[in-house]
Chain A
Amino acid sequence: MIKKEWMTVLSQKSIAKNIYELTLEGELVQEMNEPGRFVHLKVNGQMMPLLRRPISIASIDQANSRFTMIYRAEGEGTKLLAEKKAGDTVDVLGPLGNGFPIEEAQPGETAILVGGGIGVPPLYELSKRLNERGVKTIHVLGFQSANVAFYMEKFSELGETYAATVDGTLGTKGFVTDAIHQYNLQADILYSCGPVSMLKALEGLHLTKKGFISLEERMGCGIGACFACVCHTQNDPTGTEYRKVCSDGPVFPIGEVAL
């Protein structure tokens, strides 16, 4: 169920340049049942910034009623969020959307998890759950540069982990697809989150039979009521058929929505 709660900041730290790891505590965590869903945050109680900010759930600790997000402080809202300290409260609406279906990967199979930039965070909880299920995970994480890369070690604890950076300061120089080629990575199922250009390139690779991608779109309500976040489907790319990223997604099977 979707709830709204003032959750308490347990910790916030900078883990790379302009990248923050924020852990919140509250009852809402009990509703978080699936990796890949997101929360909609109001960073202050004021009229500026007016809208909530969608941020993915990066890891869930239900036993302690905590969850963690990783985000880039970039614009007005996320910069204000970065100022929050332990003990402060944040207005959280969630959990929203549909996450990555882990049951699509069978125990013993290999899943390749491909993330780009701030698309990496939701893959962390996903990887933990796949591993619990007995699915082997390979991670390919793309960043602009080494100074904005994060969680390489944490992912490494869960499975093989490769990095690609645009400037070559970490891992393969280039994009995630370059790393996939370089190491000739193979898997049964793909899960991915990142910029549309990356998702498109991955779709074109036909690396696996099955795949799921998570999209980003500017949002109003975040719950499916305002039609801000709509995209076309591949079946009907110029017609009236649509999916809402916030409530039908953000995760879709590869081939469902037009990128």
Chain B
Amino acid sequence: MSRLQTKLPGLTLKNPIMPASGCFGFGREFSGLYDLSVLGAIMIKATTEEPRFGNPTPRVAETPGGMLNAIGLQNPGLEKVVGNEIPWLSQFDVPIIANVAGSQVEDYVEVARTISKSEYVQALELNISCPNVKTGGIAFGTVPETAKHLTKKVKEVSDVPVYVKLSPNVSNIVEMAKAVEDGGADGLTMINTLLGMRIDLKTGKPILANRTGGLSGPAIKPVAIRMIYEVSQQTTLPIIGMGGISTVEDILEFYMAGASAVAVGTANFANPFICPELIEELDAYLIEHNIDHISDLTGRSWNKDGKRTYHCS
């Protein structure tokens, strides 16, 4: 599967397919279903300094071709994640990308500092785009100056490369991407969920206890494709693309838009074996179509000579 080998800042991946943060916990449950070592990497659930219970239930609602979630960053807190979850996950031969969240700059900095010192963590994913918490989260992801400042602060303390996860809930995604690039980001992951709502016709009230939630799944794929297409032409940062991926065709589309790797979120719920299946199928597709390397496709939609657009030596 050398066609799939992918190098990104801090990450040497067997293949470019990984589960997205929040859709895979810390890997324990899925480890009972298949060998996690087949994955390109694992993006673990958002970690905050203190343990969080998250929002009241219902926390999920189905939508046409998608779902809303308002989990509210439930997690056992920095100490347990670094002390138990990450060391446990390290038994698998798979790079760990730690998703860092907080409600103020100091929280992010503290989590980033500690978690990046774990010998098992290869990169951070800075979650400045969670729509489901009252403070922080999305605020950092919608104001370019704030995002840049936060990225800079986190970069100062992180021992590993920092990927910033962009929110689609902005009118100018390129501006956000450039701001975090200026702040020193090593890469981008995009997109997080789109803010949405559903109303229960019987009660006349929102289905989610939190009222609003983040939309994910196939329904958001065109938004992700458009944003990656725009951003990849305007920054030199590698992009890990996500948003509605459930087939090999989806992955090809993300690459052609400008992605250098991909993450699969919601699709893990419909089919918990989706990641290993896609890894096999993508390799078979490349062989069948005589494509030497998956990265040959990156940016094909806008890059006329179809050359690799991103190299990490």
Closest chain B CB from A156 CB (angstroms): 33
A52 and B53 CA atoms in complex are apart in Å by 24
Instruction: Determine if B59 is an interface residue (Cβ-Cβ < 8 Å).
Output: yes
Given contacts A51-B270, A247-B29, contact A226 B23 (CB under 8 A): yes
What residues of chain A lie closer than 8 Å to B266, measured between beta carbons? 50, 220
A52 touches B59 (CB 8 A): no
- Interface extent on B, as a size class? 35 or more
A225 and B22 CA atoms in complex are apart in Å by 8
Closest chain A CB from B238 CB (angstroms): 27
B269 touches A217 (CB 8 A): no
B67-75, B137-145, B173-181, B300-308: which lies at the interface: B67-75
Closest chain B CB from A249 CB (angstroms): 13
**Secondary structure class of chain B's binding surface, majority of residues:** loop
A88 and B214 CA atoms in complex are apart in Å by 35
A94 and B271 CA atoms in complex are apart in Å by 12
**Secondary structure class of chain A's binding surface, majority of residues:** loop
Instruction: Determine if A63 is an interface residue (Cβ-Cβ < 8 Å).
Output: no
Interface string of B259-299 (1 = CB under 8 A from A): 00000001011111100000000000000000000000000
Closest chain B CB from A144 CB (angstroms): 14
What residues of chain A lie closer than 8 Å to B273, measured between beta carbons? 4
Residue of B nearest to A77 (CB): B62
Given contacts A2-B33, A47-B65, A247-B29, contact A220 B60 (CB under 8 A): yes
Chain B CB within 10 A, most for which of A1, A218, A225: A225
Residue of A nearest to B62 (CB): A51
B32, B54, B269: the one within 8 Å of A2 (CB): B32
- Interface extent on A, as a size class? 20 to 34
Instruction: Determine if A102 is an interface residue (Cβ-Cβ < 8 Å).
Output: no
A50 touches B60 (CB 8 A): no
Instruction: Determine if B88 is an interface residue (Cβ-Cβ < 8 Å).
Output: no
What residues of chain B lie closer than 8 Å to A242, measured between beta carbons? 53, 74
B53 touches A239 (CB 8 A): yes
The 10 nearest A-B residue pairs measured at CB: A225-B25, A240-B51, A225-B29, A228-B60, A224-B29, A227-B74, A218-B58, A223-B29, A47-B65, A240-B53
